[in-house]
Amino acid sequence: GAGVSQTPSNKVTEKGKYVELRCDPISGHTALYWYRQSLGQGPEFLIYFQGTGAADDSGLPNDRFFAVRPEGSVSTLKIQRTERGDSAVYLCASSPEPSRNEQFFGPGTRLTVL
């Protein structure tokens, strides 16, 4: 079946601009996660949704970062006033059963802030 999809695959923007990154989870998966991976590092947790609500947003680095999942399926990660330090690969994952916590990852969006 179809896996997690993310769009765009690459995004280049200028410092100070606003960006939106989209994640389409595996159909039927109730849990959705966003991570950020910088060069040479493992993925770092940003936010977790169970259904429509953000169950854990403790990983969001500051208030420039925001994510929504209005219908409990597709999610959008929004970054305001982008900074060069925001450059990274943004990964989305979904899970069929949060209690088992097995997460399936998408290909990521590579964000470059010039």
Position among 64, 68, 105, 112 found at the interface with another protein (CB under 8 A): 105
Is 101 one of the binding residues for another protein (CB under 8 A)? Answer: yes
Position among 12, 15, 27, 55 found at the interface with another protein (CB under 8 A): 55
Position among 42, 53, 62, 63 found at the interface with another protein (CB under 8 A): 42
Is 90 one of the binding residues for another protein (CB under 8 A)? Answer: no
Whether the CB-CB separation of 95 and 31 falls below 8 Å is answered with: yes
Which of 70-96 are b and which e, b meaning 16 or more Cβ less than 10 Å from the residue's Cβ? eeebebebebeebeeebbbbbbbbbbb
Say how many Å lie between the first and final Cα of the chain, rounded: 37
Residues that contact another protein, how many (by CB under 8 A): 28
Token pair, residue 72, equals 């409990």
Position among 22, 72, 74, 98 found at the interface with another protein (CB under 8 A): 98
C-alpha span between 18 and 48 (Å, rounded):
22
Is 7 one of the binding residues for another protein (CB under 8 A)? Answer: no
Q: Is 10 helix (H, G, I), strand (E, B) or coil?
A: strand
Is 25 one of the binding residues for another protein (CB under 8 A)? Answer: no
- Site residues, another protein (CB under 8 A): 31, 33, 35, 40-45, 48, 50, 55-56, 58-59, 91, 97-108
